[in-house]
Amino acid sequence: MQRMRRLMALAKIQLLDFFSKYKSGMGLRSKKTGNLLLYLTLILLAIPFIQMSVGAYHTFLLLGRPELAVTFMYITTVLFMSFTAIPFLFSLFFYAGDIKFLVTLPIPEEFIVFAKLSTVYLYLLVINSLVLAPTMVLGGINFGLTVGSIILVFIAWLLAPLPPLLFSAVVALGLTRLAAKSSKKNILSLFFGFALLFLLLGIQLFITGESGSQVEYWTITLGRFFPPAQWLARMVTGSVKDFLYFILLNFIMVTGLRVLAAKLYRSAVLAFNEKEVIRKGGVYYRQRSKTLQLLRRNLLIILKQPVFLMNTLLSLAVPCLLLLISIITGDLSLDTLVLPENKGRAVLLFVGVLSAPALLANLSATAITREGSAFWETKVLPVEPWDNIRSRMMTTVSINLLASLLIGSFTFRLLRIEAAFLLAGLFFVIMLTLFLATIDLLINLYRPYLKWTNPAAAIKNNLNVLFSLALRPLLAIIPSFLFISWPTLGYRNILYLTGLIFFVLYLLTRKYLKNLMIRKFDQIIV
Amino acid sequence: MLVLKDLTKSYDGKKKAVDHLSLTVKEGEIFGFIGPNGAGKTTTIKMITGILTPTCGQIKIKGIDMAQSPVKAKMNFTYVPDHPEIFSSIRGIDYLNFLADMYEVPVVERRDQIEKFTKIFAIYEELDQLILSYSHGMKQKLLICGALLPNPKLFILDEPLVGLDPLSAKKLKDIMKEHCNKGGTVFFSSHLLEVVENICDRIAVINKGRLVACDRLEKIKEESGHTLEEIFLELTKDAKDA
């Protein structure tokens, strides 16, 4: 009982810490307008997930197999949750500031593991509510709601995140244990993030690309390999037997993790936190310009912090992976795309892929936040605030444009894009990148949030990222408006015209940034 | 060298962390800034260095107004904070070269300065290591070396002796004295009264954001007939009672 009380106290403090940091990370204030904006943004972002869930249910309903919708969505959710949980666990276990304090407390090591998992559980529960719960509710209604089935759906909702969470914990701790002594441990976390993303995108594209009967066949097959998805589906229909199976599975997994936790924790977390002496090169004395030094510093902040690096690379890699998987799975036929009648579609695809780094890697939205407690350094230095702000913008522009060029050089040949369209596409992307790098920085200047204790909090719990992403769909209004108003303009001219509009927007934002936001920058409290 | 005029800082618009603080630090002196915990020492230093914007008041460094020409003013001082929280995924030598570029120190001069100070503080051999592998004391020494590197006219330190071993603390005190003998100025905060007593030309005592004493130490002691510790305790009595 005493032990349980200590575990509860530890979990409570972790959750309080998590909510307090989450709230401050989100920048929530008592102002009604601020909260309204937050809820609106969250609703906007939740809609596509709920639509996906409802859409999947209707697909299986049309096939006459609504019960398979839960199986399919649970498999998808498990992958989605694992993809989210593993990097989050890496951040919580290996880069959180409180781990050195926690290890000194007179508590068993598995308590620390379980207390940390409680915060990840909440994260996954939100994902579960958006991705799986709508299908479960619709399924429950379809099979006739009874008090028993409502209770079972509710329990299923609560329990669904546990298997992926426990699996992710073993994977994250186990892999780190293997790599704890290696200097390549950060690469491991990167590799795993990529592998999971590839898996997630691949399975989703594969299933959506297949015909109805194939989807049914694959869901049944995958369900056989992953019985919890079938149990969960039958729980929604009111099956107590499957509920017991699901409970038993969770019990076994929790017991397994309890046995493994202490051992894994000791060998992984503590070894990971051991300081290692890394000597590189020698002592040198070289002069560089202030601009170059500031740019280098901002780049290194991303490149040297594995969580920041992984997040950036994953954001940049998504379009490439999507394209690659679409080609591999045959969802995208290159032979058809290069036909003259599909030229427009190929150009749109090319520009879309080229723009993806600027649209997805919203680095400027956390450019100041990423510095955390070291932000004071740049404020003390004899550097103009504008140079300080500009160096952050240029960091985002350099990374995003480099990614766009790399992706562009690959897709340009693949899609056999004409030189004239290539130039128009590049012009559009450069202007879009400049505008987004500037407007995102504006968001970060309004909401600097420097007091984070683990890097995931800086870039994931941060409402800046959501605000910045919410802005993206609005930008589509410009080319759509041009296309509808002047259908004869053609893709190339629309690209040039939209690029020009983005350039004007960039100049206006930059002017505002330069004139008014410098004061805001100076007033950031460190 | 440093003039603070009616310097005030309020974080919430009500309570003043620093309340109409005015003082002058002359060229060539070591100026000690003391006060109990939460008195406003770090807030004052953060305003002087540009980390915080004052609610009102004026800061002049070598006659340059910090609000009007912050970059020009900043070229005249360097700063060592109480917590060595710096971007630590780079090597010690990268950090020092970064600072040298910011303060426009030529290559030859930076080589001499880096070698001199890092050898004094015994971290020269560790300059090619990542800062994140440094101990607290080593980081503190690196920050001190970085701050001394541009040979600043004004050297500002917030609790500089915390985390330093006795030998390094002694070396820092010697460097502070030497810096002033060469015409430089040192402004530092400390809780260590014996250090303040030993090396400062003048001291200022701050309590609840207000300046409660500012003069030559001998004069304050002579007038009151007490030791620095007794004077400090008397001046900050209400802080303890609160």
Closest chain A C-alpha to B179 CA, distance in angstroms: 21
Any domain includes A364 = yes
Mutation target among A296, A301, A376 for the B interface, most CBs of B within 10 A? A376
Are A277 and B129 in contact (CB < 8 Å)?
Answer: yes
How long a stretch of residues is chain A? 526
Count how many pairs of residues, chain A against chain B, have C-beta atoms within 8 Å: 97
- Rounded Cα–Cα distance for residues A355 and A348 (Å): 10
Are B50 and A276 in contact (CB < 8 Å)?
Answer: no
What residue spans define the domains of chain B?
Answer: 24-76+154-242, 86-152
More confident residue, A32 or B73: B73
- Whether residue A333 sits in one domain with residue A260: no
Residue A440 has pLDDT above 60, yes or no: yes
Closest chain B C-alpha to A12 CA, distance in angstroms: 29
CB of B134 within 8 A of CB of B163? no
The tokens of B185 are what? Answer: 């100025």
Residues contacting residue A224 through CB under 8 Å, at least 6 positions apart: A230
Q: Does A413 contact B at CB distance below 8 Å? A: no
What DSSP assignment string belongs to A253-309? HHHHHHHHHHHHHIIIIIHHHS----B-S--------HHHHHHHHHHHHHHSSHHHH
For residue A324, how many C-alpha atoms fall within 13 Å in the half-sphere facing its CB? Answer: 12
Chain A residues whose beta carbon lies within 8 Å of the beta carbon of residue B103: 382
Query: How confident is the model at residue A331, as a pLDDT?
Result: 65
Are A376 and B110 in contact (CB < 8 Å)?
Answer: no
Are A285 and B107 in contact (CB < 8 Å)?
Answer: yes
Q: Does B53 contact A at CB distance below 8 Å? A: yes
Tally Cβ neighbours within 10 Å of residue A331: 14
> What's the mean pLDDT in B7-32?
91
Question: In terms of CATH, what superfamily is B24-76+154-242?
Answer: P-loop containing nucleotide triphosphate hydrolases (3.40.50.300)
- Whether residue A295 sits in one domain with residue A361: yes
Q: What are B4's strand-pairing partners?
A: B23, B59
Residue B141 has pLDDT above 50, yes or no: yes
Are A284 and B53 in contact (CB < 8 Å)?
Answer: no
Residue among B53, B99, B128 whose CB faces A281 most closely:
B128
- Whether residue A421 sits in one domain with residue A386: yes
Place of tokens 């800082």: B9
CB of A308 within 8 A of CB of A459? yes
Are B106 and A287 in contact (CB < 8 Å)?
Answer: yes
Strand B56-61: give its sheet, edge to edge.
B16-25, B2-10, B56-61, B64-65
Are A280 and B127 in contact (CB < 8 Å)?
Answer: no
Least CA distance to A383: which residue of chain B? Answer: B71
Q: Supply angle C-alpha A241, A245, A249, rounded to 5.
A: 170
Residue among A280, A297, A301 whose CB faces B98 most closely:
A297
Q: Does A376 contact B at CB distance below 8 Å? A: yes
Q: Supply angle C-alpha A313, A128, A452, rounded to 5.
A: 50
- Whether residue A425 sits in one domain with residue A299: yes
Are B129 and A278 in contact (CB < 8 Å)?
Answer: yes
What DSSP assignment string belongs to A163-213? HHHHHHHHHHHHHHHHHTTSTTHHHHHHHHHHHHHHHHHHHHHHHHHS-HH
- Whether residue A509 sits in one domain with residue A370: yes
Query: How confident is the model at residue A208, as a pLDDT?
Result: 60
Any domain includes A280 = no
Chain A residues 430-459 with CB within 8 Å of chain B: none
- Whether residue A203 sits in one domain with residue A352: no
Q: How many domains does chain A have?
A: 2
Residues B205-237: tens digit of each pLDDT? 998 899 988 888 888 877 777 788 888 887 777
Place of tokens 């090396």: B199
Residue A58 has pLDDT above 80, yes or no: yes
Closest chain A C-alpha to B10 CA, distance in angstroms: 12
Least confident window among A293-302, A306-315, B95-104, B183-192: A306-315
Q: Does B230 contact A at CB distance below 8 Å? A: no
Strand B154-158: give its sheet, edge to edge.
B77-80, B154-158, B185-189, B30-34, B202-207, B210-216
Closest CA to A343 of A415, A410, A444: A415
Are B128 and A384 in contact (CB < 8 Å)?
Answer: no
Closest CA to A165 of A129, A113, A221: A113
> What's the mean pLDDT in A121-134?
86
Any domain includes A278 = no
Residues contacting residue A441 through CB under 8 Å, at least 6 positions apart: A364, A365, A367, A368, A389, A392, A393, A396, A513
Are B89 and A277 in contact (CB < 8 Å)?
Answer: no
Are B107 and A287 in contact (CB < 8 Å)?
Answer: yes
Q: Does A151 contact B at CB distance below 8 Å? A: no
Residue A276 has pLDDT above 70, yes or no: no
More confident residue, A495 or A317: A495
Instruction: State which of A227, A243, A273 marks the end of a domain.
Output: A273
- Rounded Cα–Cα distance for residues B191 and A34 (Å): 42
Closest chain B C-alpha to A294 CA, distance in angstroms: 9
B79-116 residues labelled b (16+ CB within 10 A) or e (exposed): bbbbbbbbbbebbbbbbbbbbbbbbebeeeebeebbee
The tokens of A234 are what? Answer: 């039958």
Q: At what angle do helices B92-102 and B136-148 cross, to 10 degrees?
A: 30
Closest chain B C-alpha to A68 CA, distance in angstroms: 49
A149-186 residues labelled b (16+ CB within 10 A) or e (exposed): beebbeebbebbbbbbbbbbbebbbebbbebbeeeebb
- Whether residue A311 sits in one domain with residue A415: yes
Q: Does A64 contact B at CB distance below 8 Å? A: no
Amino acid found at B86: I
Are A305 and B89 in contact (CB < 8 Å)?
Answer: yes
User: How far is Cα of residue A472 from the mean position of the Cα atoms in its chain?
Assistant: 16
Residue A223 has pLDDT above 80, yes or no: no
Cα torsion angle, B97, B101, B104, B107, sign: positive
Please give the mean pLDDT across all residues of chain A: 81
Most confident of A84-93, A452-461, B74-83: B74-83
Chain B residues whose beta carbon lies within 8 Å of the beta carbon of residue A305: 89
Residue among B75, B81, B102 whose CB faces A376 most closely:
B81
Q: What are phi and psi of B187, to 5 degrees?
A: -120, 115
Least CA distance to A524: which residue of chain B? Answer: B52
Q: Does B62 contact A at CB distance below 8 Å? A: no
What's the first-to-final CA gap in chain B, in angstroms?
35
Q: Does A286 contact B at CB distance below 8 Å? A: yes
Are A304 and B129 in contact (CB < 8 Å)?
Answer: no
Mutation target among A283, A294, A387, A523 for the B interface, most CBs of B within 10 A? A283
Query: How confident is the model at residue A25, as a pLDDT?
Result: 57
Residues B112-124: tens digit of each pLDDT? 999 999 999 999 9
- Whether residue A313 sits in one domain with residue A452: yes
The tokens of A233 are what? Answer: 């589906």
- Residue range(s) defining the domain that contains residue A16: 2-273
Residue A503 has pLDDT above 90, yes or no: yes
> What's the mean pLDDT in A275-287?
75
- Whether residue A412 sits in one domain with residue A518: yes
Q: Does A100 contact B at CB distance below 8 Å? A: no
Q: Quick one: A51 exposed, middle or buried, by C-beta within 10 A (0-12, 13-18, 19+)?
A: exposed
Least confident window among A11-15, A59-63, A236-240: A11-15
CB of B73 within 8 A of CB of B64? yes
Closest CA to A207 of A196, A223, A191, A194: A223
CB of A448 within 8 A of CB of A378? no
- Rounded Cα–Cα distance for residues A278 and B130 (Å): 6
Any domain includes A285 = no
Q: Does B50 contact A at CB distance below 8 Å? A: yes
Query: How confident is the model at residue A205, as a pLDDT?
Result: 62
Least CA distance to A305: which residue of chain B? Answer: B89
- Rounded Cα–Cα distance for residues A164 and A123 (Å): 12
- Whether residue A294 sits in one domain with residue A266: no
- Percent of chain B whose predicted confidence (pLDDT) is above 90: 58
Chain B residues whose beta carbon lies within 8 Å of the beta carbon of residue A289: 101
Residue among A279, A287, A304 whose CB faces B128 most closely:
A279
Are B114 and A373 in contact (CB < 8 Å)?
Answer: no
- Whether residue A169 sits in one domain with residue A32: yes
- Percent of chain A whose predicted confidence (pLDDT) is above 70: 81
Q: Does A480 contact B at CB distance below 8 Å? A: no
Closest chain B C-alpha to A477 CA, distance in angstroms: 40
Distances A519 to A137, A389, A514, B27, B236 between C-alpha atoms, Å? 51, 11, 9, 31, 36
Reduced 3-state DSSP string for A126-146:
HHHHHHCHHHHHHHHHHCCCC
- Rounded Cα–Cα distance for residues B115 and B149 (Å): 10
Are A290 and B97 in contact (CB < 8 Å)?
Answer: no
Chain A residues whose beta carbon lies within 8 Å of the beta carbon of residue B48: none
- Rounded Cα–Cα distance for residues A452 and B85 (Å): 13
- Residue B178 pLDDT grade (very low, low, confident, very high; cuts 50, 70, 90): very high
- Rounded Cα–Cα distance for residues A182 and B169 (Å): 37
Residues B152-164: tens digit of each pLDDT? 999 999 988 888 8
Are A382 and B74 in contact (CB < 8 Å)?
Answer: yes
Residue A243 has pLDDT above 50, yes or no: yes
Any domain includes A282 = no
Reduced 3-state DSSP string for A349-371:
HHHHHHHHHHHHCCHHHHCCHHH
Q: Does B63 contact A at CB distance below 8 Å? A: no
Chain B residues 116-155 with CB within 8 Å of chain A: 124, 127-130, 132-133
> What's the mean pLDDT in B55-79?
92
Are A279 and B87 in contact (CB < 8 Å)?
Answer: no
Query: How confident is the model at residue B242, as a pLDDT?
Result: 44
Residue A384 has pLDDT above 70, yes or no: yes
Least confident window among A162-171, A176-185, A375-384: A176-185
CB of A51 within 8 A of CB of A39? no
Any domain includes A283 = no
CB of A110 within 8 A of CB of A465? no
Are A376 and B51 in contact (CB < 8 Å)?
Answer: yes
Closest CA to A414 of A337, A315, A322: A337
Closest CA to A176 of A258, A95, A277: A95
- Whether residue A241 sits in one domain with residue A335: no
DSSP B30: E
Any domain includes A298 = yes
How long a stretch of residues is chain B? 242
- Rounded Cα–Cα distance for residues A127 and A131 (Å): 6
More confident residue, B49 or A342: B49
